[in-house]
Each structure stands twice: as C-alpha cells, then as structure tokens.
Structure 1
Amino acid sequence: AGTATKAHGWELRRKVIEGKETNLVLLCVDASGSMAAKARMTQVKTAILSLLLDAYRRRDTVGLVTFRGEGAHLLLPPTNSVDVAAARLRELPAGGRTPLAEGLAEAAETIRRHRLRDPDRRALLVVVTDGRATAGPDAVNRSLAAAELIAAQGISSVVLDSETGRFRMGLARHLAERLGAEYVAVGDVQADAITTAIRGRAA
C-alpha cells in the first residue's frame, strides 16, 4: 500500500510539474489551385515551424494533411521537432482540384491512430479551406458527410475560411457548422492568423 501511495503521489507531482495538458494540433490544408495555393502553403509552413518552436515548452505535436488533385496526403506526421518539420516540408506541392472529403477523412484517420498511441493528448483539427470541393462525384455533400463523422468522434476543430473576393459562397461556414467547429474568416492566409487561432484554442 505504501509503495502504491508513493507511486500515486509521484504521478500527481509529475502532472503538476508538467502543467497544462499536451495537444496534437493537426492542420488539414487545401493545397489545390495555382499561385494562391503556393502562397498559402508557404504561410502554413511558416506557421508550423513557429508553433514547433514552442514545443519544447508545451510538448505539443503538430502535423499536416494536405489535399489536392485526386486525394489527400499526410505530409507531416505529428512531430515536436522543428528539424523534422523543416525537412518534410521542404517541398510543398500545390495545384489541381479540391478533394475536401478525402482531406477530412485522412485527418480523421490520423487523429484516430494517434489517439490510440497517446489517449491523453488532446486533439485539435484546424481546417484551412474556402469550403469548395471539386474532386470526385457529389464532392460537396461528401465533404459535409465527412465533417459530420469527425464531429461524431468528438474532435475539437476550427475552420479558417480562406475565401476571398466580393462574392462569397459561404461554404466554409457551412462546413464549420457540420464539424461543430469554431469559424474564423481569414481571407488570404497568413502565418500569424494560423498561429493565433491555434494558440488561442490549444492553450
């Protein structure tokens, strides 16, 4: 009994020393389109490296799923290493159609796998999109269905709406509603907008 008490006390002290719980921050980013997509991905890379500079204090991990063309890719498996992220994100492909549903599905699967490995780590999904889906049959409805599956898993999320122009379709706001996500209109994506949104929700 004395050993168990000591072990329990050590665990309690360890948690107090560590402070706040750690986070898995997974960005799911639209890399489709042309010049705008390349600029967006550069800002995303800057934001990820900035977030990882805090990792030594917070012990958070950050990952990146992108979607473009016909599918989605886990470009950066969740890590707390700036060096690993810089190497993996050296090349950031962009262009093509917008497989939003596939991006959301890949993000959900990535979070599921990492929850199995580290169930105490809180997951935050950050979707950077204008909400448009153009790849595959019934693309928009499939993306909304994928969002509802994520919401059903209880994954905390935020949608950063990258829609620009005078005439807005409001698709990202609709997506946020299906996700049960917080919604932030950012327009032209800048690194500081991404980091501000994440730091405010992963504190």
Structure 2
Amino acid sequence: MGADARAKPGSLSGGRNGASRSGLLGGIDWPATLLKGHPRSRQDLLRRPRSAQPSELWLVIVDASASTRRGGALSQAKGLLAELFDAAYRQRARLALLHATGTQPRWLWQGQKSASALRDWLDQLGAGGGTPLIEALQQAAQWQARRQNLQPGEQQRLLILTDGRLRDWPALPASQCPALLVDIERTPVRLGRARQLASELGADYQHIDELALRARSPTWNTP
C-alpha cells in the first residue's frame, strides 16, 4: 500500500528542540500531561525534574486500517506520532510500536530508543486492509507483562490511536499501566466506538480534533 497520507502538524509543542528549560525543571512530560486531560493553562503542563531520569517505555498501537483514510484521520495521527517520536528521543524514553492493519498486527519496534528508522516508517505509512486492533491489544498486554518481569523498575505507558470502527470485540482486561486512547474517527457520521473501547480498557479518552484545537492555543504552544 502507498503512503496516502502526509503528516500534518501534531498537537504537541516545542518542535525538535523541545520547550525551554529553567531551574530544576526539565522538558514537558507529554504522556503524563495528556493523561490528565486537556491542558488549559501553563500550570496544567507537567514537567519532568531534571535530576530524575526514570526509565520509561511508551507502547504505541497504531490502527492504520482502510477506514482511517476518511476525513484525513491518518494524516492527523501521523502528525501526532512524529512529535511523539521526537519527544521520546529528547526524553530518552524507550518505544514499542505495534502496527494494527491487514490480517494481523505487526511489531515494528520493541523497547529500543527512538531512531530515524521510525521516521522512515512513518513517512511511508498508509491506510489499508482490515482492523486487527483487538489482536494487537491482546499481544501488547502479553508483551508488557513479560517486559515488566524483565524490567520491574520501568514505567510503562500505553497510547492507542484508532477510529474504533470495529464490529464487536470480546471482553478486554483493563490496562495494567496508564493508558490514553486518541480517537481519530473524523467521518461526518461517527460511531463513537473508540470511547466505549477506552472505557473498557480503563484508558483516558481524547479526540484528536480536540487536541489539534488545543495546539492552536497560546497556552499550549508556548509553555
């Protein structure tokens, strides 16, 4: 499949160099900030103490099925992913990336640091095929459990990007780590299943359009 979507500007600020730092506080902790909900002021932006460098793993599940072509959904998701990869590089977080499209999910990254190879994959990412999202969630939970046994001091976070366009799914266990589901459904008639999925997983829920609106706010872009 071709790369049918160009990355649009995402919802995180700071670019490649990140936000300016002063005193004992370092860069913005974007996963923790987004898990709190929409930042409405500078005080809502959580920063990481410079002296503290906890080992973190960000597990990202990307739904790039054919339905994500609609309304520029995948383009918006790619913009968010580009900034997330940059943030992981700056903060030295490790990444795991699970691509949910076609007939079965595929691991692209499993606990390494962010690298240019992820950018190359993102540039080529296109929508197509089925939606093996449930299988991806099940595989991710199993992998996380094994990883936690090997790295008990590591802090895990889960990010899911999906339009939620699934027919039915079995009962799912709640995520064992802080989780955020970003809904990328952007069709005129929305089914709203991503919100239901987030509820079952015990994950926080955000719609990508709302994140984009916040990105245009001065309090978001200039912390």
- Give the TM interval when normalised to the shorter protein: 0.5 to 0.7
Question: CA separation in 1, counterparts of 2:181 and 2:86?
Answer: 23
8 Å CA contact retained: 1:24, 1:123: yes
How far did 1:131 drift? 1.3
8 Å CA contact retained: 2:64, 2:74: yes
Which residue identity is paired with 2:192? G
Which residue identity is paired with 2:181? V
How far did 1:155 drift? 2.2
Match of 1:182 in 2: 204
Match of 1:82 in 2: 115
Identical counterparts, % of pairs? 32
1:173 to 1:48, Cα distance in 2 relative to 1, 3 A:
closer
Structure (1/2) with the larger helix percentage: 1
Could you say which structure has the greater relative contact order, defined with CA pairs below 8 angstroms and 6 or more residues apart?
2
- 2:162 corresponds, among 107, 129, 137, to 129
Aligned residues: 166
Give CA deviations for 1:159-178 in whole Å, capped at 9, x if unaligned: 10111233221101100110
- 1:26 corresponds, among 59, 73, 87, to 59
Match of 1:162 in 2: 184
Question: CA separation in 2, counterparts of 1:185 and 1:95?
Answer: 21
Which residue identity is paired with 2:160? V
Specify the structure having the higher radius of gyration (Cα).
1
How far did 1:77 drift? 1.9
1:161 to 1:17, Cα distance in 2 relative to 1, 3 A:
closer
- 1:63 corresponds, among 96, 100, 121, to 96
8 Å CA contact retained: 2:60, 2:159: yes
- TM-score when scaled to structure 1? 0.66
Give structure 2 stretches of 5+ with no counterpart: 1-48, 216-223
How far did 1:183 drift? 0.4
Question: CA separation in 2, counterparts of 1:74 and 1:189?
Answer: 27
Give structure 1 stretches of 5+ with no counterpart: 1-15, 135-139, 194-203
Give CA deviations for 1:44-98 in whole Å, capped at 9, x if unaligned: 5554453344446533112211111211111222221323433555643531111
Question: CA separation in 2, counterparts of 1:164 and 1:49?
Answer: 20
Question: CA separation in 2, counterparts of 1:82 and 1:42?
Answer: 21
